[in-house]
């Protein structure tokens, strides 16, 4: 089942300025950046700490790259701020099905590609007390040994 808070997603208008705020204010450094065309965002993952299950916890900063993206629409309505919370799991497929069985709407029929090669799905915020909730199975960690 769910093992940790994987990340908190924060929607922003200017990714570079927001990264600089978190670096200058809290000392958080960028662990990973990417553009996710499917989600329509440019993102930065700021690593907060490692967790006891071998994963990590992050802040995910999200800047829309097109007006029709979910994050762009959310920003237009709500302004900058917390967009979602993501929980880590070893089995996004199984946990999504189990949660669906409890009457919570799962937004994707099949998990999609997320940050850093992860597999993700979302739960409907109206079924989660107003919180957009993401389930994440991290990509396997590749060994640096050759």
Catalytic residue at 146? Answer: no
φ, ψ at 57 (rounded to 5°): -115, 140
The catalytically annotated residue of 39, 63, 83, 84 is 84
Q: Which of these is catalytic: 7, 39, 63, 83?
A: 7
Set 39, 60, 63, 83: catalytic member: 60
CA 92 to CA 120: how far, in whole Å?
A: 7
Per the structure block, which two tokens stand in for 100?
């669906």
Contact 88, 18 (CB under 8 A): no
Instruction: Note whether 134 and 85 are within 8 A (CB).
Output: yes
Catalytic annotation present for 39: no
Beta-carbon count within 10 A of 52 CB: 7
Of 39, 63, 83, 134, the active-site residue reads: 134
Angle ∠(6,138,105) on CA atoms, nearest 5: 70
In the residue annotation, 60 being an active-site residue is answered as yes
Residue 43 among the catalytic residues: yes
Catalytic residue, from 43, 63, 110, 124: name it: 43
Please check whether residue 46 is in contact with residue 29, taking contact to mean a CB–CB distance below 8 angstroms: yes
Q: Is residue 142 annotated as part of the catalytic site, yes or no?
A: no
Give the active site residues: 7, 43, 60, 84, 134
């Amino acid at each position: 089942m769910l093992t940790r808070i994987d990340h908190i997603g924060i929607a922003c208008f200017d990714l570079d300025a927001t990264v600089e705020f978190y670096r200058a204010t809290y000392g958080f450094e960028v662990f990973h950046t990417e553009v996710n065309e499917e989600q329509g965002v440019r993102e930065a993952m700021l690593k907060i700490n490692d967790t006891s299950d071998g994963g990590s916890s992050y802040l995910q900063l999200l800047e829309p790259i097109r007006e029709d993206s979910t994050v762009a629409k959310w920003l237009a309505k709500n302004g900058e701020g917390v967009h979602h919370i993501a929980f880590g799991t070893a089995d996004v497929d199984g946990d999504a099905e189990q949660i669906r069985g409890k009457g919570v709407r799962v937004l994707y029929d099949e998990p999609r590609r997320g940050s850093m090669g992860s597999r993700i799905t979302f739960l409907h915020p109206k079924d989660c007390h107003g919180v957009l909730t993401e389930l994440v199975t991290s990509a396997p960690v590749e060994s640096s040994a050759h």
